[in-house]
Every structure is written in structure tokens, then in C-alpha cells.
Structure 1
């Protein structure tokens, strides 16, 4: 997915310094404690970051807004996604459901850090 010119203009006006585009899938955070050290359940609005975005854990707890086809959801970064490409993220089922049906499996989104 490509960013439109209007997206970058809007991002600049809103102060969005780190806007990304990538794929989103969903995962089940209830399976284990996340890389940030917190236990989360599938009903929470949380995300797992790619290894590149996770880094040494400095983004743990940061709010992320994910936009897809006129819908958006704000999630907290709580885990690391080892199988994600640099700008991909995994969402909890509750967060993914805010954007698309789980039947879609993988969707291309725009996202950015809110804080």
C-alpha cells in the first residue's frame, strides 16, 4: 500500500513524525507473557511490533493508531512479532476486529505512534 500525498500532508499538519505502512495480522496475546513483560488477553487493544520496531523494548507501552479503509483503532505496543517485516504489526483479535473480519487474515494498513 502506498501513502497518498494527502496522507503525508495530514500527517505533517497533525505532527505525525513516524508514519508507516505495512501488513497487519492478528495473534493471541493470552498464550504467554509478551516481550514487554506484561500479560494481556485477546480482548485488549494491544499489538506486537516487528523486531525492527521493538528494538530493545523502548516502544513498549506506546500507543499506536492503525488506519484501514476509513476505520481506525488505537492499541498499546506490548509484544514482539518475530515473523513480521520491519513495518508490519500483529494485533489482538479485539483490535483486528475493529478494522476488518478475521477472515481477511492479512490487511495492508497505515499506522503511527501516537505518543
Structure 2
């Protein structure tokens, strides 16, 4: 009977440990992936739909990420478009400097994990797309945790692999029209 109890206890402990680890670990270096840390319940309200920005939908569950994929010499990402200007679809002023930025400035926001508590603020990143390479300054966080509120212009949290760029960055990459929106790129620290 002790053997059965010990085997059952060991199995229960193993199951509990696996369950705890699966919910406690958000980024798995062994798997090279970043998993959602939770889900945000969407609330509907009016948002600025400039550049086809998505507005939160009531009842929809949006994944939240505290992490982003690892940064490499060619970090794979999705380039999105954002206005950092006052009244633009970016919402409030930039996190890094508390300022708004003209659509003519070469600026970006990075997903929460890449933004890394502001450690990349005012630093340049190199963006490679469409056979071109440009430098842009990090001025904001593309929040991958919070959203669907006034501070985030009632837009959902960003995915964990976003480089949200001003129209000037898109122009410098020679992209316009149907190319603008979600575009696969690579980026690195400059």
C-alpha cells in the first residue's frame, strides 16, 4: 500500500508542478517562444481608426504578453503603421519623452518585451524590408499587456512581435498603398 501511495503522490506532485510551470513560465528559451500571460476582456468604445487601427470589441478576449521573441541580428517582426502626432491613432504622447512626434519623423514603438521597461528609449533600430534598410528612433511602447481603455485609444493590446512605425518609416522603406498595414520585416539594434 505504501508503494501505491508513493506512486500516486509522486504522480500528483508531478502533475501539480507541470501545471504550475505551464502557467508560471511565459517565455520558454528552450522552445524559443513567448506565450500569452493572460487575456484582456474587450470593452467597446470609439477609437481613432486612422491607418485602419482596430478598435476593441465588447466581449472579445485579447492575448496579453509580457515578453517578446529574443532580439537577434535579424529579429523577425511585423511592421504596423501608427501616427505619433497629437490627435493621431497612437493615442497619448510617447512613453519615452512624453512628447508627440510628427508623421515626418523616423520613429517607432516596440512591443512590451522589446521595449523592455524603456531600456531602448531614444535608441535607434535598423529596420530591413522591401530590399531597403532604415534607421528609426524608439520613442514609445506598443503595449502588449494593456488596452481597450482611453489611455490606449480603445485599441487592443499589441501582439508581442510588433514594430509600430510612423508613416515616414514606411515612406523611407518605399512602401505605400496595399503594402501599408501589416508587413513582415527584420530589425536589429543599430
Using CA pairs under 8 Å that are at least 6 residues apart, name the structure with larger relative contact order, 1 or 2.
Answer: 1
The CA RMSD measured in Å over matched residues stands at 1.8
Whole-Å separation in 1 of the counterparts to 2:99 and 2:189: 20
Whole-Å separation in 2 of the counterparts to 1:17 and 1:110: 9
**1:21–1:88 Cα contact (<8 Å) kept:** no
Q: Which moved more, 1:32-41 or 1:70-79?
A: 32-41
SS of the counterpart of 2:117? coil
Q: In the comparison of the two structures, how many residue pairs are matched?
A: 99
Whole-Å separation in 1 of the counterparts to 2:159 and 2:127: 16
* CA-CA distance at 1:41 after TM superposition: 1.1
Query: Structure 2 stretches of 5 or more lacking a match?
Result: 1-70, 87-91, 144-156
Query: Structure 1 stretches of 5 or more lacking a match?
Result: 1-15
CA offsets per residue over residues 29-68 of structure 1, 9 Å max, x none? 0033101123211110000010111121111011011001
Whole-Å separation in 2 of the counterparts to 1:78 and 1:45: 10
Q: Which moved more, 1:92-101 or 1:59-68?
A: 92-101
**1:96–1:102 Cα contact (<8 Å) kept:** no
Highest CA radius of gyration, 1 or 2? 2
